[in-house]
Each structure stands twice: as C-alpha cells, then as structure tokens.
Amino acid sequence: MAKKLPAYVIKDVSLFAPGAPGSRIGQCSEITIPVLEKTMESFRNAGMIKPIEIAMGYETTECSFTETSFDPDMLKLFGIGAASSMVAYGYMADEDGTEHSCRFQMVGDVKKIDAGSWASGTKGEHSYDMTVHSGTLFIDDQEIIRFTPHRFWVGGVEQFPGRANALRL
C-alpha cells in the first residue's frame, strides 16, 4: 500500500508589484490570494419537494497583503484608475521532498492602505487590500484557474461555455 504523505505544502511566499524594484522578498510578510466563491440562487419550481441551489456566476474577488515597509512605490499604487498587475509566488514541497511552484497573477486596483499602528521598538506592518478584476492561478506552470470579468476557466475548461457565444463576448 502506498504511503499517503502531505503534499503541496506552502512553505514560502513572495510578491511582485509593478513600479517596485523586483520582488517584495523581505518586504511582504503575508499574502491572501483571491477567495473564489460561486454566486448561488435557491430555486424551487413546480414538482420540487425541496429547493436546490443553482450557480449563477461568481462573487467579486479581492486579495490582500501585508508589508513590513512603508515603500513610496507601493503607496503610489493607490491612485485612481491605476490598475496594477501583481503576482503572488509560492514555494511548495511534498513530504517526500518533491518541490512545486505556484503563482497567482492578477490585475486590479488597490482600494485600501492601512498604515497600522506606529510604535517605537515594534515591527510596523502595513496592509493593502486590492479588488481583483482578472487572475490566473498556476501550479507547476500548469494553469489551474483563470478568470476575467466576463469569463471563467477551471482546468482549461470554460465555465458557462455557451454564454460567451450567446452574448457575443
């Protein structure tokens, strides 16, 4: 019988942001990639003894990240209409030693900057919230999920495939 060991364990992260030199290694302490959630509606039509939920689309996506620096280049991403491309990188490893990479490429607008509490002798952390208009999740360079405001793919398969044609998208 094959051993079942933990796999794809995220062990380290980094963030790349435009206008900031290189990656945010040493600056970004935490990243929350977009939460993907379906919009569900409850239906109970004639002859149904109980309602069922039907997927109608997807909810708004956001990401957040925390930095230990108050970098002016990052603060400039707060500008109106300043859609930004960001990439969250992750290093993963299985318990058997197999290594993996993941990245979440996203485009959106920084909508909130929280400078946190400033106190002598403590690490200052600053958090950023961003609405994400489009994004793509890759694991080992394989596209897993991709979305735009108009379309959504999972494992390379478009969800609601007839919709784009019907709406001439």
Structural tokens at position 157: 């398969």
CA–CA distances in Å: residue 162 to residues 34, 158, 165:
26, 9, 5
- Using one digit for the tens of pLDDT, what is the confidence trace for 3-13? 578 999 999 99
Question: Is residue 165 a part of any domain in this protein?
Answer: no
Question: What is the radius of gyration, based on Cα positions, of the chain?
Answer: 20
Q: What CATH number should be reported for the domain holding residue 94?
A: 2.30.110.20
Among the residue ranges 23-32, 48-57, 124-133, the one predicted with the least confidence is 23-32
Question: Is residue 78 a part of any domain in this protein?
Answer: yes
Give the separation between CA 166 and CA 49, rounded to whole angstroms: 32
Question: Is residue 4 a part of any domain in this protein?
Answer: no
What is the reported pLDDT for 123?
83
**Helical segments of the chain, H only:** 72-75, 161-166
Q: What is the pTM assigned to this prediction?
A: 0.86
Q: How confident is the model at residue 129 (pLDDT cuts 50, 70, 90)?
A: very high
- Determine the structural domain holding residue 83 and report its residue range: 9-42+52-140
pLDDT at residue 166 greater than cutoff 70: yes
Q: How confident is the model at residue 75 (pLDDT cuts 50, 70, 90)?
A: confident
**Contact criterion met (CB below 8 Å) for 109 and 131:** yes
Percent of the chain with pLDDT over 70: 94
Count the alpha carbons within 13 Å of 149 in the hemisphere toward its beta carbon.
Answer: 5
Question: Is residue 164 a part of any domain in this protein?
Answer: no
Question: Is residue 70 a part of any domain in this protein?
Answer: yes
Q: How confident is the model at residue 73 (pLDDT cuts 50, 70, 90)?
A: confident
Q: How confident is the model at residue 1 (pLDDT cuts 50, 70, 90)?
A: very low
DSSP letter, residue 8: S
Q: What is the mean pLDDT of the chain?
A: 89
Question: Is residue 67 a part of any domain in this protein?
Answer: yes
Give the separation between CA 73 and CA 104, rounded to whole angstroms: 21
Say which residues have a Cβ less than 8 Å from residue 17's Cβ, sequence separation at least 6: 24, 73, 74, 77, 84, 86
Question: Is residue 154 a part of any domain in this protein?
Answer: no
- In the numeric block, the tokens 């495939």 are attached to 161
Question: Is residue 153 a part of any domain in this protein?
Answer: no
Q: How many domains does the chain have?
A: 1
